[in-house]
Amino acid sequence: MSLRDRIEGLQARIQRACEAAGREPSSIELLPVSKKQPLSLIREAATLGFTRFGENYVQEGADKAVALPDLSFILLGPLQRNKAKPALQHFAEIQSLDRPELAERLRRFAEELDVIRPMWIQVDLWDEATKLGGCTEAELPALIESLGGDPRLPMKGLMAIPPPDDRAAFSELATLRERMQQDLGQSLRLSMGMSSDLEAAIVAGSDQIRIGTAFFGERSH
């Protein structure tokens, strides 16, 4: 199956899910996850209209950002404090902010580099953090306080990797988003859902779905 065929299949699923949820398909961002994918496939996706790609590893994503300067790369994977500076240099957004000490380090380097980088807070409501990263709901206030409303690191939304086959997780995240929007007085986007559960994520209110293999095909290595 060609890249175009896979994309059209995903877009048809998004369309059906949006019809079921009474949402506009244009309100859902399909974010291709390009980790371990060759530059040639990313370039092909760009010719089909995609300009933003998710990456899990700082070095790999940074190399791609240098090679493909007309495209934007979003950091999805865990971020170590010692890689905060290159992450800010090469990624358009960071979705895996999950602890105050990382926020403080990012603020320091954002000022030094004079860059603006939207932040997504990775949340974990299901005790998955030891494997995947993420902060609990109880830890959110301290993390938001550590961002300090810094205009260089504007808070854009919430990202989560719920346990597999836990469809209730999506409604829990949607409820958390509603509470936070009221508390903060700002709108927040929600990034949740992958190829196996994108329909449930869209119905629950996700604004972005992150798709890897179902978009690009099986990795060659």
Query: Which residue type does 57 have?
Result: Y
Distance CA 152, CA 117 (A): 6
Distance CA 30, CA 50 (A): 9
Distance CA 22, CA 116 (A): 34
Contacts of 166 (CB under 8 A, 6+ apart): 126
Q: For the ranges 21-35, 66-80, 162-176, which has the lowest average pLDDT?
A: 162-176
pLDDT digits (tens, 9 = 90+) for 205-221: 999 999 999 999 987 65
- The residues that bridge with 55 in the sheet, in sequence order, are 75
pLDDT digits (tens, 9 = 90+) for 84-120: 999 999 999 999 999 999 999 999 999 999 999 999 9
Q: For the ranges 28-32, 76-80, 98-102, 160-164, which has the lowest average pLDDT?
A: 160-164
pLDDT band at 130 (very low <50, low <70, confident <90, very high): low
* Domain covering 3-216 in this structure, CATH number: 3.20.20.10
Radius of gyration of the chain measured on its C-alpha atoms: 17
Spans of all domains in the chain: 3-216
Torsions phi, psi for 57 (to 5 deg): -120, 135
Mean pLDDT of the chain: 94
Distance CA 192, CA 202 (A): 8
Q: Quick one: what percent of the chain has pLDDT higher than 90?
A: 89
> Which of 145, 123, 155, 121 lies closest to 136, judged by CA?
123
